[in-house]
């Protein structure tokens, strides 16, 4: 193994940990906080609770909630304008991956200037960001601990992948209570997103012993607790386990990067504004089948993490059990087998494929993919699907 780096923010985890948000922001030197969230999280009451604890610490704030699913470049630009007008010196994100990615992008442009498109790629941030505290309200994105921000370029209709160590928040506050206000569909989609992070980071070309432990433990937790978490909003054990799984998968992929599933889902999300977690869930088994020959021993360990008995099976069959386990979980959660998209033109699929090959996440996929390979995988998942 060559030289590697492992990075993570300070992490505050547990039921009622949201109570520590005021003190956390205060000790980072904040005087006025820019809060980024979305209307759904506001209606669930988590923003109001966070503001209560900020006020207890006598912190001023500005609230901005104009974020949609798959945050857009023009939304980020509007957020930056408001951040500057408010005179804030710290950023707090409260929500799912969209809100947290938007918060990180606002912090980036608020300190570095320019447009978000300038920072697409790896390590293009040169000035320090303001203090950032992130509070995830879904068990899926892992953005609260990652060096990624994903923003849609609405002109090109692609998701831009922005990767920089500067985007790792200072503090992540993970309170499993926030998962209890999410419906079963969102719980399923975000949980499968976390599983995709865990699997892709585990088989990534950039994985290390440090990341692999987090990846495998996340897979174990998801295999055991995602079904009960989807079944009940009030299952405290399942919510706590899924919050931990998402956190661990986030730490793993932040350091080991991802693979072809995300490289492809970024294209579909950018063009069609589809739910990220659901797209990942549909793509995952197909990409796993394609990648199988690259690292069968790791697939065997994934099967073990799912609780599959591999002792009396051949190495090849043991590896295939990992894919079978993922398909079984997706079926139990009602995930469609294919994307409900019809009549997508051949030229469009070709463009999606070419863009996917250029995505930063494709670099660490364990098996090489050409644009034709990606096109074949896209064609497999396009269709009416099972609803």
Q: Give the pLDDT confidence of 176-202 residue by residue, as tens digits.
A: 999 999 999 999 999 999 999 999 999
- Confidence (pLDDT) at 313: 86
Average pLDDT over residues 143-170: 95
Average pLDDT over residues 80-87: 97
Of 4, 30, 15, 5, which is closest to residue 171 (Cα–Cα)?
A: 30
Average pLDDT over residues 346-354: 93
CB of 219 within 8 A of CB of 195?
A: yes
Contacts of 118 (CB under 8 A, 6+ apart): 124
Cβ burial 159-194 (10 Å sphere, 16+ → b, else e):
bbbbbbebbbbbbbbbbbbbbbebeeebbbbbbbbb
- Confidence (pLDDT) at 20: 98
Percent pLDDT > 90 in the chain is 89
Q: CA-CA distance, 90 to 34, in Å (whole number)?
A: 6
Q: In what order do the strands lie in the sheet with 90-95?
A: 10-13, 171-174, 132-136, 90-95, 32-36, 60-64
- Per the DSSP assignment, residues forming a β-bridge with 163 are 122, 148
Output the six-digit token pair for 15.
Answer: 């039921």
Q: How confident is the model at residue 387 (pLDDT cuts 50, 70, 90)?
A: very low
Of 95, 190, 177, 179, which is closest to residue 136 (Cα–Cα)?
A: 95
Q: CA-CA distance, 175 to 138, in Å (whole number)?
A: 10
- Confidence (pLDDT) at 382: 86
- Confidence (pLDDT) at 280: 96
Of 109, 110, 168, 119, which is closest to residue 142 (Cα–Cα)?
A: 168
Contacts of 280 (CB under 8 A, 6+ apart): 192, 193, 196, 261, 262, 265
Average pLDDT over residues 314-336: 95
DSSP letter for 72, please: B
Average pLDDT over residues 19-40: 97
Among 51-55, 112-116, 293-297, 340-344, the range scoring the smallest mean pLDDT is 340-344
> What phi and psi values does residue 32 have, to the nearest 5 degrees?
-135, 130
| pLDDT surpassing 90 at residue 274 | no
Q: Which CATH number is associated with domain 10-179?
A: 3.40.50.1970
Q: CA-CA distance, 94 to 103, in Å (whole number)?
A: 9
CB of 135 within 8 A of CB of 175?
A: yes
Q: How confident is the model at residue 383 (pLDDT cuts 50, 70, 90)?
A: low
Average pLDDT over residues 50-61: 97
Q: How confident is the model at residue 205 (pLDDT cuts 50, 70, 90)?
A: very high
- Rounded to the nearest integer, the mean pLDDT of the chain is 95
CB of 29 within 8 A of CB of 86?
A: no
- Confidence (pLDDT) at 312: 81
**Class of 182-383 in CATH:** mainly alpha
- Confidence (pLDDT) at 1: 57
Among 31-40, 92-101, 270-279, 357-366, the range scoring the smallest mean pLDDT is 270-279
| pLDDT surpassing 70 at residue 386 | no
Q: How confident is the model at residue 343 (pLDDT cuts 50, 70, 90)?
A: confident
- Confidence (pLDDT) at 166: 97
CB of 92 within 8 A of CB of 171?
A: no
| pLDDT surpassing 70 at residue 336 | yes
- Per the DSSP assignment, residues forming a β-bridge with 135 are 94
Q: How many C-beta atoms surround the C-beta of residue 238 within 10 A?
A: 25
| Residues forming CATH 1.20.1090.10 domain(s) in the chain | 182-383
Four-residue CA torsion sign, 142, 218, 239, 387 = positive
- 63 by DSSP, 3-state: which? strand
Output 5 or 61, whichever has higher pLDDT: 61
| Residues forming CATH 3.40.50.1970 domain(s) in the chain | 10-179
CA angle 287, 144, 112 (to 5 degrees): 105
Output 387 or 318, whichever has higher pLDDT: 318
Average pLDDT over residues 310-324: 91
Q: CA-CA distance, 238 to 243, in Å (whole number)?
A: 8
């Amino acid at each position: 193994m060559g030289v590697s780096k492992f990075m993570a923010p300070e992490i505050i985890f547990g039921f009622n940990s949201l109570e520590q948000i005021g003190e956390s922001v205060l000790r980072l030197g904040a005087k006025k906080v820019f809060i980024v969230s979305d209307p759904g999280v506001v209606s669930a009451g988590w923003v109001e609770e966070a503001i209560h604890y900020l006020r207890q610490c006598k912190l001023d704030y500005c609230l901005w909630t104009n974020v949609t699913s798959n945050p857009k470049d023009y939304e980020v630009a509007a957020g930056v304008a408001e951040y500057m007008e408010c005179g804030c010196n710290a950023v707090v994100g409260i929500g799912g991956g969209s809100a947290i990615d938007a918060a990180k992008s606002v912090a980036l442009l608020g300190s570095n200037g320019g447009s978000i498109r300038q920072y697409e790629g790896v390590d293009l941030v040169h000035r320090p960001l303001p203090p950032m505290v992130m509070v995830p309200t879904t068990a899926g994105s892992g953005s609260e601990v990652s060096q990624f921000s994903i923003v849609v370029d609405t002109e090109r209709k692609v998701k831009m992948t922005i990767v920089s160590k500067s985007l790792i928040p200072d503090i992540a506050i993970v309170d499993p209570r926030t998962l209890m206000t999410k419906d079963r569909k969102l719980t399923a989609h975000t949980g499968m997103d976390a599983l995709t992070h865990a699997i892709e980071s585990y088989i990534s070309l950039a994985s290390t012993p440090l990341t692999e432990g987090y990846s495998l433990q996340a897979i174990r937790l998801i295999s055991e607790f995602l079904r009960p978490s989807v079944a009940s909003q009030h299952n405290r054990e399942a919510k706590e386990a899924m919050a931990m799984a998402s956190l661990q998968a986030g730490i793993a992929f932040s350091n080991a990067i991802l693979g072809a599933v995300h490289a492809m889902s970024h294209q579909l999300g950018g063009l069609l504004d589809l739910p990220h977690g659901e797209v990942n869930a549909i793509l995952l088994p197909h990409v796993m089948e394609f990648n199988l020959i690259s690292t069968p021993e790791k697939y065997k360990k994934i099967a073990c993490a799912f609780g599959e008995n591999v002792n009396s099976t051949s190495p090849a069959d043991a590896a295939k059990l990992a894919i079978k386990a993922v398909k079984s979980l997706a079926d139990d959660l009602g995930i469609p087998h294919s994307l409900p998209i019809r009549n997508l033109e051949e030229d469009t699929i070709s463009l999606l494929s070419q863009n996917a090959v250029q995505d930063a996440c494709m670099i660490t996929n364990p098996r090489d993919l050409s644009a034709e390979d990606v096109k074949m995988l896209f064609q497999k998942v396009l269709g009416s699907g099972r609803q």
